[in-house]
């Protein structure tokens, strides 16, 4: 067993699902549903409002930039104001601007809405992630985080296609209002959550976390796999042979489904054997699945490739997050949540942007091969991570 992983076999297993965790699920679903419902809709709204061909990229880019900036700032806010205030404020910023989006026909107004919603989503996921970690027993952290992954995956799986479909049925305004309302309504669950000040252990800032290999290395490995996640979502529909829309639809369903299942299995395994031994296999599976996408003309290869990638990605998601939480005192949970989410969002954004440039030079198959090689480069921090210390400042 990994000495950095608590022994889950000592004594009776603690209860995992509590009233507080169920309330946390309410705020989690509210934030995710609101975010993903509008994620594919706002770019189309920006273009339809006369923003031009570059408007979709500006809208999404503003959203993700604000999200990353907010994720870096949120741990300090949590330390000052507590979980409930920051989580509730994040849900408000995510929901209220969506209500005025139909009135923001000008590009400047749309960009402002995107920026505020990005800050709100960042506050919700970082403060909420730190709070969630404090609600999960250490002996079942891997399994608990896997359950959290399943709950948070449902709104994204449903919200992305639902938002696009609803726009065609009822228009942009009602969809924006629905996204705003679902975030605002979920604030009702926040007062029932604990708001204890996290003072156990030394304070761990974001800068200190970036300097410490025990946190930086697993975050870097996860960010590397997130590169391919952003690439697959953005470019697979373009890379697969024309006339294969059904293959793309199946692939984009199989990939997140495989990730969710793998997160659950990895969580249960990691609690018993230690999550550190899962990082390397997960990384190798992710790279192998990405390499399989070189065969873009083969429907079997495409679906198999995203299935293998999704499995590896889910393993790395769970193992890296579990490791990072285990390596800090409770006072560092906010920093871990911030670093992990920054690795996720920045990895997806950089991957999509960089892949587009490479594919323009080489074509899609070669670009997938280059991506797989770059992912293999993360084997270096993954191997170093096996010897990292268990705690920051510890």
**What is the tens place of the pLDDT at every residue in 162-214?**
887 888 889 999 999 999 999 999 999 999 998 755 455 555 666 666 677 77
Which pLDDT score is estimated for 103?
Answer: 87
Highest mean predicted confidence (pLDDT) among 129-133, 167-171, 316-320: 316-320
Which pLDDT score is estimated for 156?
Answer: 78
Separation between Cα atoms, residue 145 and residue 142, nearest integer Å: 5
Residue 315 pLDDT more than 70? yes
Which pLDDT score is estimated for 54?
Answer: 65
Separation between Cα atoms, residue 25 and residue 22, nearest integer Å: 5
Higher pLDDT, 380 or 283: 283
Which residues have a Cβ under 8 Å from the Cβ of 364 and sit 6 or more positions away?
235, 238, 239, 296
262-292, pLDDT tens digit by residue? 988 888 887 788 888 889 999 999 999 999 9
The total number of residues written for the chain in this structure? 394
Residue 38 pLDDT more than 90? no
Which pLDDT score is estimated for 329?
Answer: 80
Separation between Cα atoms, residue 374 and residue 233, nearest integer Å: 18
Cα first-last separation, the chain: 20
207-235, pLDDT tens digit by residue? 666 677 778 889 999 999 998 988 887 77
8-34, pLDDT tens digit by residue? 444 567 788 889 999 999 999 999 999
- Report the percentage of the chain scoring pLDDT > 70: 87
CB neighbours of residue 102 within 10 Å: 16
Predicted TM-score (pTM) of this structure: 0.76
| CA nearest to 117, candidates 46, 216, 27, 42 | 42
Separation between Cα atoms, residue 169 and residue 175, nearest integer Å: 10
Separation between Cα atoms, residue 125 and residue 337, nearest integer Å: 8
| Mean pLDDT taken over the chain | 83
In Å, what is the CA distance from 310 to each residue of 100, 144, 146, 229? 36, 20, 14, 8
Which residues have a Cβ under 8 Å from the Cβ of 87 and sit 6 or more positions away?
27, 123, 124, 127, 128, 131, 190, 193
335-344, pLDDT tens digit by residue? 888 888 888 8
Which pLDDT score is estimated for 3?
Answer: 41
Residue 121 pLDDT more than 70? yes
CB neighbours of residue 169 within 10 Å: 8
Contact (CB, 8 A) for 392 and 209:
yes
Which pLDDT score is estimated for 197?
Answer: 52
Separation between Cα atoms, residue 199 and residue 134, nearest integer Å: 12
Which pLDDT score is estimated for 150?
Answer: 84
Separation between Cα atoms, residue 117 and residue 14, nearest integer Å: 37
Which pLDDT score is estimated for 162?
Answer: 82
Going by pLDDT thresholds of 50, 70 and 90, the confidence category of residue 394 is: very low
Angle between helices 276-292 and 245-273 (to 10 degrees): 170
Which pLDDT score is estimated for 129?
Answer: 86
Average pLDDT over every residue of 299-325: 92
Going by pLDDT thresholds of 50, 70 and 90, the confidence category of residue 387 is: low
């Amino acid at each position: 067993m990994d000495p950095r992983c608590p022994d889950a076999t000592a004594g009776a297993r603690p209860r995992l699902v509590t009233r507080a965790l169920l309330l946390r699920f309410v705020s989690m679903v509210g934030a995710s549903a609101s975010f993903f419902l509008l994620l594919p809709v706002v770019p189309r709204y920006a273009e339809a409002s006369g923003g031009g061909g570059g408007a979709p990229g500006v809208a999404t880019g503003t959203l993700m930039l604000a999200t990353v900036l907010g994720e870096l700032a949120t741990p300090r806010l949590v330390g000052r104001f507590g979980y409930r205030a920051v989580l509730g404020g994040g849900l408000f910023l995510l929901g209220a601007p969506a209500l005025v989006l139909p009135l923001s026909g000008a590009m400047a107004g749309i960009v402002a809405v995107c920026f505020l919603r990005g800050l709100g989503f960042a506050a919700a996921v970082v403060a909420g992630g730190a709070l969630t970690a404090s609600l999960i027993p250490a002996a079942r952290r891997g399994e608990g985080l896997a359950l959290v992954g399943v709950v948070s995956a449902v709104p994204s799986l449903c919200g992305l296609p639902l938002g696009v479909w609803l726009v065609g049925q009822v228009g942009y305004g009602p969809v924006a209002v629905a996204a705003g309302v679902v975030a605002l309504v979920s604030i009702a669950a926040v007062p029932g959550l604990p708001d204890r000040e996290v003072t156990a252990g030394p304070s761990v800032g974001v800068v200190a976390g970036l300097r410490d290999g025990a946190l930086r290395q697993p975050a870097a490995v996860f960010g590397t796999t997130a590169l391919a996640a952003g690439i697959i979502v953005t470019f697979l529909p373009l890379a697969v042979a024309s006339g294969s829309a059904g293959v793309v639809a199946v692939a984009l369903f199989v990939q997140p489904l495989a990730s969710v299942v793998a997160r659950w299995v990895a969580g249960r395994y990691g609690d018993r054997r230690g999550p550190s031994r899962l990082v390397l296999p997960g990384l190798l599976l992710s790279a192998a699945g990405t390499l399989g996408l070189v065969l873009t003309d083969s429907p079997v290869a495409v679906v198999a490739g995203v299935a293998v990638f999704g499995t590896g990605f889910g393993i790395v998601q769970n193992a890296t997050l579990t490791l990072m939480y285990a390596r800090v005192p409770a006072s560092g949970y906010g920093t871990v949540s911030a670093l992990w989410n920054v690795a996720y969002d920045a990895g997806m954004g950089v991957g999509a942007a960089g892949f587009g440039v490479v594919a323009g030079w080489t074509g899609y198959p070669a670009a997938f091969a280059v991506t797989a090689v770059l992912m293999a480069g993360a084997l270096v921090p993954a191997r170093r991570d096996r010897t990292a210390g268990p705690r920051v400042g510890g």
